[in-house]
Amino acid sequence: MMKKACDFMKLTTTLLLLALILLTTDTMGLAPKAEAAYAQSSDPMRVKQVYLDTIHMNEAWAAAADSTTPIVVAVVDTGVDLTHPDLAGNLVEGKNLLQPGSKPADDNGHGTNVAGIIAATLNNDKGIAGIAPNAKIMPIKALEADGTGGEARLGEGIRYAVDHGAKIVVLSLGLNKYSTYMADIVQYAEDHDVLLVAAVGNEGTSVKYPAAYPTVLAVGGVTPDKRADLRSNSGPELDLMAPWDVYTTALGGGYQYQNGSSMSAPQVAGAAALVWAKYPAMRAYQVRDLLEQTAEDLGPKGWDATTGYGLLRVDLALTQPYSEDRFEPNNRQDQATKLSVHDSLHATLSSAQDQDWFAIDAPYDGTIEMMLRSGDNTGIRVNTSTGATFTAGEAADSTVEFQVKKGRSYVQLQTVNRSRTSPLSYSLFTNFKIYRDPFEDNDKQYKAFTLPARSQTIRGTFHQKGDVDWFVLPIEESGTLRVRMSTDTARIDPAIFIQKEGEKGQTIDQSGDGVLEISPQMDVLPGQYYIRVSNAKDYIEPITGEYALEIEYNPKLIDPNEPNDKPYQATFAGAFSEYQGLMHKNDDVDWFQFRMDKDGLAQISLTNIPTSRTLYATVYDSSLQELAYFKSDYSADSLYIEKTLGQGSYYIKLQADKWFLSQMYRLKVGSYPLVSGFIDIDGHWAVDAISKLTQIGAISGYGNYRFAPDQMITRAEAASVMAKAFQLSKQKQLHFSDLSDSHWAYESVAKAVQAGLLDGYPDGTFQPDRPMTRMEMIQMLARSMNMTGKRRGNSPFYDVSETYWGVGILKQMWADGWIQGYPDGTFRPEEETTRAEFTAMLAKVIDR
C-alpha cells in the first residue's frame, strides 16, 4: 500500500508539473510551435540597423519558432522593388490598383523601404536583415509615384489583402479624415481575423486614419534615446512606439537610411509575424494585445497619449506568456488602468467578486460611448464616477453613453450575476463624442448665431455629422473686417465663407489640414454679414477637436481735424492737449499750429502710429520756413521730437508713406521755458544756485535739457563739481581698488583727493557711483573752508550723538550759520543728498 501511495504521489507530481508546463506554454489553448531558434543575423549591413538592437531582435530571433509556415504581410503602399536581391525571394503575388494587369512595381521607393524592414532575407550574405524571416510580402500598389493616394484605393487594397490570404496588413500612410467607408473596411479585416498595423503620421499633431480606428495597431516613432520624436503624431488612438530612424532596402536594389512613423509601423508588423508563427492559434486581437502588454513603458505608468503602451519589445512578445486580462490588478479605483477614449480591449472578470476599474482622461467636455460584448451574453454592471449606472453585455453589442467633463473619469465593471464563480471574458470598445458648442443650432444660414459687432474670439466644435456653423455680424458703422479660423487638430481643414446679406459671398480655403485660414482685410459698409465656418467638404464626420474663430472688426474712424490739408487750415494744438488724426489717402497732409509763449524747448510727441507705416513731421516757423524734419522708424509706433525755439507761432506738417484708417495717431505738443539751459528747474527752490554754478561752468545737466535737481548726487559727480568750482589743477595718483584711470571722473576725484576734500573708505575703495550722504557733503564743504570741527558744546541736532564721527564738523558749521537742519530738530546725516542740495550749499560756500 505504501508503494502504491508513493507511486500515486509521483504520478500526481508528474501530472502537476505537466499541467504547469502546459499552462505556461498553452495559455488560452495557444500552444507555440516547436522552437528551433533563428540564427542571429550575419548580413553585412546589419551593423547599420541600430534600431534592431533597440527592439532586442537578437534575443527575439533566439526565442522565435523557426516556422516553415509563412505569414503573409501585405504592404499597401507604392509597390515593391520586385527584383531587389534582398526581397525577391520573399514576395508573393500582389496587386497593382493603379494599373490593373501590371505588376505592383515600386516607382517611389517608400513601399520598398517598408518591405525591407519586415522581410529582407536573413543571413543571405547580402545587405540587411528583415525582422521576420518567416514573412512573405504581398505588394499592393495603391499610391501614386509621388506617394499620394485616396481612401478608395486604400480600402480596396486592404480588402484585396484580406481576401487573398494576408494575415497582417501594414499601412505606412494616412489621412486626416474619418470615413464610414474606411471604418467598414477596417471592420471587414477585423471580422476576417486580419491584423492592421498603421503609422500615426509625422506632423506632430493628431493620429492619422486608418491608424486612428480602434482596432488598428497605431504605431509612432521614438528617437535613439527612446523619446517620442516631436514629429510623431500622438493622441488617444496611439498604441505602440518603435524606432523612428532605420536603415533599409531602397529602390534599384540598394539600401538607404530613412525615418518617420512609416518606418516604425513595419517593425511592429514584422514582430506580429514572428508572434503568429510561434502562436498560430492566436486571433488578431490577441496578437495585438500581446504586443501591447509586452511593450516597454516609456512615459507615465501604463498607457499615455504620447507613447501609447510603450516601446515595441519583440523579445518579450516571444518569451512572456499571453494574458487574457493584462490589466490586473485593477480591482480598486486607486488601481484603475488608464483607458483611451478611443480604444478596444479584451479582459476578464474572474468571478462575481472581481471588479475592473478603468480611468479615462477626456480631452474635452463630451460623451463617452462604450460598447460591451461579453463572452456568454452575461450582463455586466457599469458604474461611472459621474453617477451614471448601466447594465450592458446582455446583447451581442450593448452600447452605453455617459457625459464627462474634460479630465479624468472612472468606470467600474462587475458581473450582474452575484453568484457567478466562473470567469467572464468581455470586449470593451470606447469612443468619444465632443460637446455640442453653445452656438448650436446654427447649421443653416437662417439659424445663424448673432455675434456682437466687435473684435472677438470664439471657440466651437463640429460635434455631429455634416456640422457647419453660421454666425451673423450686424455691422452698423463702416469699417474693416478680417476673419481668421484656426484649429487644434489636423482633422479639421478650416474653411470660411463670408457674405454680406444680398450680395455674393467669398470662400477662404487656401491652406490644408489644421492650418490657419485668414481672410483678406475687407472694407465693410453697414449691413448683416454672415460668416460660415466648416470643415473641408469631404470631412463630414464629427471631429474631436475645437476651432477658434477670430473676428477683427474696426469701425471706420473719422479725422476730427479735417480739413487741415493747408497751413491756413491748420488745427491749433493747445499746450499738452492730445489731438488724434488719420491719413485717409496716400497724399493726405495734416497741418497743426502751436505757440511758444516764452523762449524754451518744444516737445512734440506722436504716438499710436501704425507699425507698418512711417510718419514724417516737419516743423516750420510762422513764415513757413522749414526748421526741422523728422520721421518715425517703420517698425516703431511713436516719434518724439525736442527742439529749442524762441517765442512765437510755429507749424507742424504730418505726412505718412501710406494711408491708414483703422488706427488714429495721437499728437501732443508742449513747451517748457529754459532756465540756464534746463527745463526742469524753473520755479525750483534751488534755481538761483543751479543757474549760478552753471554760469561759472561748475555744474552741468545730462545733455537732454534736464538737470534733475531732485536726483541723488554720486560721490564721483560731487568730486567733479568741486574740482570745477574751485578750479583745482593738481591731482594725486589714486590707488582705489574700484576706480581705474579709465573712469570718467578719475581726474576730478584725483584733484579733490589731492586738495584734501575727499577720502576713500577704510577697505581701500572709493565707491564713485555711491550716492553721497548729507554728512559727506558737509565734510567736503567744510574742508574746502579749512574747518576741522570743534568738540565743545552740545550737539545741535537730536539725531546726532556726541559719539557720531562727524559731530564736530556739524557743531562748527551750525555755529557759523552754514547749516540749520530740519524743522523737527534733526539733521539726518546719513540720508542721501540731492543735486539741488549739494549745488545750493556749494553756491553758498563760493559766495562767502
The candidate with the shortest Cα–Cα distance to 218, out of 227, 209, 226, is 209
**Are the C-beta atoms of 43 and 123 separated by less than 8 Å?**
yes
Helix (H) or strand (E) holding 118: helix 110-119
Which residues 6+ apart lie within 8 Å of 121 measured at CB? Answer: 86, 87, 89, 90, 130, 133
Helices (H), 579-686: none
- Across 635-711, where does the E strand assignment appear? 638-645, 648-656, 660-673
Give the separation between CA 223 and CA 225, rounded to whole angstroms. 5
DSSP string for residues in 217-272? EEEEEE-TTS-B-TTS-BSTT--EEEESEEEEEETTTEEEEEESHHHHHHHHHHHH
Q: Is the peptide bond before 32 cis (omega within 30 degrees of 0)?
A: no
Query: Three-class SS of residue 47?
Result: helix
- List phi, psi (to 5°) of 338: -70, 130
Query: Cell 522581410 maps to which residue?
Result: 119
Q: Classify the phi-psi angles of 89: left when phi > 0, otherwise alpha if psi is within -120 to 50, otherwise beta.
A: alpha
Q: For residue 589, give the DSSP letter.
A: -
* Rounded-to-10 torsion of CA 226, 230, 236, 242: -40
| Residue 262 is among the residues annotated as catalytic for this protein | yes
Question: How many C-beta atoms surround the C-beta of residue 799 within 10 A?
Answer: 15
How large is the angle between the packed helices 261-278 and 110-119, nearest 10 degrees? 30
CA distances from 691 to 674, 676, 683, 702 (A): 11, 6, 12, 15
Query: Cell 467600474 maps to which residue?
Result: 412
Choosing from 56, 84, 110, 463, the catalytic residue is: 110
Task: Return the ∠ at Cα 703 (arms to 781 and 608), rounded to 5°.
Answer: 135
- Across 682-818, where does the E strand assignment appear? none
Give the separation between CA 497 and CA 488, rounded to whole angstroms. 20
Which amino acid, residue 595?
Answer: R
Q: Residue 578's beta-bridge partner residues? A: 668
Give the separation between CA 157 and CA 139, rounded to whole angstroms. 10
Q: How many residues does the chain have?
A: 848
Question: How many C-beta atoms surround the C-beta of residue 497 within 10 A?
Answer: 19
Q: For residue 567, give the DSSP letter.
A: G
**Are the C-beta atoms of 844 and 820 separated by less than 8 Å?**
no
- List phi, psi (to 5°) of 811: -60, -45
Where b means 16+ CB within 10 Å and e means fewer, 82-104 reads eebebbeebbeebbbbbeeeeeb
Give the separation between CA 388 and CA 383, rounded to whole angstroms. 6
DSSP string for residues in 298-354? -SSSS-BTTTBT-B--HHHHHHSPP-S-TT-S--SGGGPEEE-SSEEEEEEE-STT-
Query: Cell 518569451 maps to which residue?
Result: 319
Q: For residue 596, give the DSSP letter.
A: E
Choosing from 206, 262, 340, 534, the catalytic residue is: 262
Choosing from 41, 56, 67, 77, the catalytic residue is: 77
Residue 246 is placed in which grid cell? 532605420
Active site residues: 77, 110, 262
